[in-house]
A and B are shown apart, each in its own frame.
Chain A
Amino acid sequence: MGSIAKIIAQRLALGVLTLLIVSFVIFVSVNALPGDFAQAIMGQGATEEAVTAMRKDLGLDQPYFQRYFSWLGNIITGDLGISFAQMNFASNLGGDQLISVADQIYPRFINTMWLAGFAALIAVPLSLTIGVLAALYRNSMFDRIANIGALTSISSPEFFIAYILVLFLAVLNPVFLPVAEVTPGITLGERLYFLALPALTLTLVVTAHMMRMTRASIINLLASPYIEMARLKGVSPMRVIVKHALPNALAPIINVIALNLAYLITGVVVVEVVFTYPGIGQLFVDSVINRDIPVIQACVMIFASAYILLNLTADILTILSNPKLRHPK
């Protein structure tokens, strides 16, 4: 077991290192702005003194690396800064009740987790089933229809799928709601009802990818000699799949799931905008359009961390599912 623990520790360290470098990349790209934040917040009409004061407020007069480390330190302690919109509001109206970015993001983060979790809960079992069936009945009618369906779904932009679902399931047959404006304090049933269409959209998008990858990896596996051997000695088809193929398919399938869950992160952005769902994706798009740098920075950090975490989990699970590593000689 010692070797596994060591490999996992290495992967964890690598993940943390990647996150650090990513944070630096984000910091550098944001600081590539012409002029600087202070000018950006105050706008063109601001006087020179006001801009200098704002610069001092934000700590922009300090050296580059010092700023990076203080930003990083703030992130680690959970202080994501204050949005430009809030600051502008305060500097014009003199209010002192500023809502921090962390407070803005927290409820939305929970909402997004609900959406992604719900979608994953439908998508993973569904696509694994279809993928395995398509691989088993390769080139049958079912396989062809599944393949064309998957290609169509991959080829459609997320918003197209979303609007088609709205058209058929919310407008023509009013089964679900066309918007998902959840409010705090709703019951679980209501939340799931609100979430149905956004989650279904994400499910369709992700299922197509996941099903194709599952099918490909199972087909690869079924071509291996030991499967042929098992078949030849007369093992039942079900047993071939469950006993012989599945343990070896575990690693590729875990990878497929993790990759696609990571894909959910990007899909969430468009879907939240279509359904005006108050999640982190919508906040991100809004702040990108309004060029609200502190919020953008925080959102990108969260998205990137989730992405890295998912890939890291996949890595570690793959190692754990590898019998050669679990039972070292």
Chain B
Amino acid sequence: MSNLLFVIAVLAAAVVGGYLFRLIGQKTTQNRPYFRDMPFLVAFGYVFGAILIFLCARLYLQPTTLESGVPNAVTIFFRWTVHLIAGLALAAFLFRLAGRNIGTDGSKRLFRQMPITASFGILTIILYCIVALMPEVFAPYGEAEVFAKSYVYPFGDPAANGDPAHILGTDEIGRDILSRLIFATKNTMFIALAATILAFLIGGIAGLAAAIFGGWVDSVISRSVDVLMAIPALIFQLLLLSIASFWANSYGIPMVLFMIVIIAVIDSTRVFRLARSVGLGIVAMDYIEAAKLRGERLGYLITREILPNAMPPFLVEFGLRFCFVFLTIASLSFLGMGIQPPSADWGTMVRKLADFIKFAQFLPNAALLPLFPALAIAILVLAVNFVVDWILDKSSGLKG
């Protein structure tokens, strides 16, 4: 109840403060247009923002241990959050700074127009790719190497059940979390990339074919896609995976293969929709008509005339689909139907370590165990989304 009252008090203070702020601004500046025409919502926003910053600063500066010796978990977590965001922002800023000064003129110009979010996205994607390509170099231990002590907490402080040999701790059977996180990058990114590429091959070819041939080919494919899309994607994937697990058991086919194909087929329906509409737009163009009249073959039409013009929307869609597939794999693994142990995987790690969240009040370090893998997913997907958003914004011409 007191929490609710506090929120109401803050909002009320911002309403009154916003009104006063605008009034004082008008009086002291002799009605400058900026203050005269300021909508109330904007004034409210300024004051509300100021109050929020003040509250955050107060929370940040509180001591990390209470008088009773109990850790002040709220402040600890808040500081971690602030440090994480500040660290990421700083890295992105330095990366953009480096990009502005190193490289060719073209790349320099690109970096000069880049918002901080996009530079964060590009940096993150590069780092994840490097880690995914050679996990053995970065991981201190093997993927399935088991150590004597399970549930070691992060940050290597022996007083807080840490171990300097396992800087991020160990999991339920004593495997090093940092190594598992690094190997999971490879496993998850490989499956996500394979599924996305396959989805694009299936959906892209079917969509372009529907656009080019039209008629009954178009109707048949479109109606089948409509039916597949009428079943919620995650639900359908779970159903098919549970059936595939019977097949995997009886014929010894690796489950990963089924996963890639099932995710790709269901995701290709979305790609199909895009490919078809993009294809229809291009097929109606005069230069296609001209090429047809020249008597070019279908292969030439697709590779030389249609694909180059369809590339930008496909690239953006590829980024978005990759995010989607990535989150799907995480959800499937979290639900226990995704990447199977002993392969390392983020979703599974979250599920297995989730109970530590409930100890956050007294063991803040332990509560981080499930948050690391979840963060690893969120940061990568966020990075791709930021880059896609930037490309969309750049190409849409919808500017300020």
Contacts and interface: CB of A to CB of B under 8 A. Distances in A.
Contacts of A289: 242, 335-337
Contacts of B228: 25
A296 B239 contact: yes
Contacts of B73: 171-172
A142 B45 contact: yes
B338 to A, nearest CB: 12
B327 A157 contact: yes
B242 A288 contact: yes
A299 B389 CA distance: 36
Given A270-B335, A285-B335, A154 B385 contact: yes
Interface string B211-255: 000000000000000111011111110111111011100110000
A171 B231 contact: no
A178 B330 CA distance: 22
Given A157-B377, A173-B74, A266 B337 contact: no
Interface string A288-309: 1101000010011001100110
A279 B384 CA distance: 33
Contacts of A32: 243
B230 A273 contact: no
B229 to A, nearest CB: 9
Nearest to A138: B400
A308 B117 CA distance: 37
Interface string B237-279: 0111111011100110000000000000000000000000000
A189 B238 CA distance: 34
A319 to B, nearest CB: 18
Contacts of B398: 219
Contact of A21 (B74, B227, B331): B227
B240 A155 contact: no
A274 B74 CA distance: 22
A157 B49 CA distance: 28
A22 B231 contact: yes
Nearest to A174: B361
B354 interface: yes
A22 B230 CA distance: 7
A202 to B, nearest CB: 14
Nearest to A216: B398
Contacts of B375: 160
Nearest to B324: A154
Contacts of A5: none
Interface in B42-74: 42, 45, 49, 73-74
Interface in B360-392: 360-361, 367, 370-371, 374-375, 377-378, 381-382, 384-386, 389
Contacts of A163: 350, 354, 357, 370-371, 374
A158 B331 contact: yes
Given A30-B243, A270-B335, A288-B242, A25 B250 contact: no
A270 B331 CA distance: 7
Nearest to A308: B230
Given A291-B245, A300-B235, A167 B337 contact: no
B3 interface: yes
Nearest to A311: B230
Interface in A300-324: 300, 303-304, 307-308, 311
Contacts of B234: 266, 269-270
A258 to B, nearest CB: 13
Contacts of B239: 26, 29-30, 288, 296, 300
Contacts of B236: 300
Contacts of B27: none
Contacts of A35: 246, 250
A159 interface: yes
Contacts of A229: none
A270 B230 contact: no
Contacts of B370: 163
Given A29-B239, A266-B235, A307-B230, A151 B385 contact: yes
B231 A151 contact: no
Contacts of B371: 163-164, 167
B135 interface: no
Nearest to B251: A34
B74 A270 contact: no
A167 B360 contact: yes
A166 B356 CA distance: 11
Contacts of B367: 167, 171
6 contacts: A29-B240, A147-B389, A156-B382, A159-B350, A171-B73, A172-B360
Given A22-B227, A22-B231, 11 more contacts: A34-B247, A35-B250, A155-B378, A155-B385, A159-B330, A163-B357, A163-B371, A167-B360, A167-B367, A171-B357, A288-B238
What are the 5 tightest A-B residue pairs by CB atom distance, in nearest-first order? A155-B382, A155-B381, A160-B374, A156-B378, A266-B234
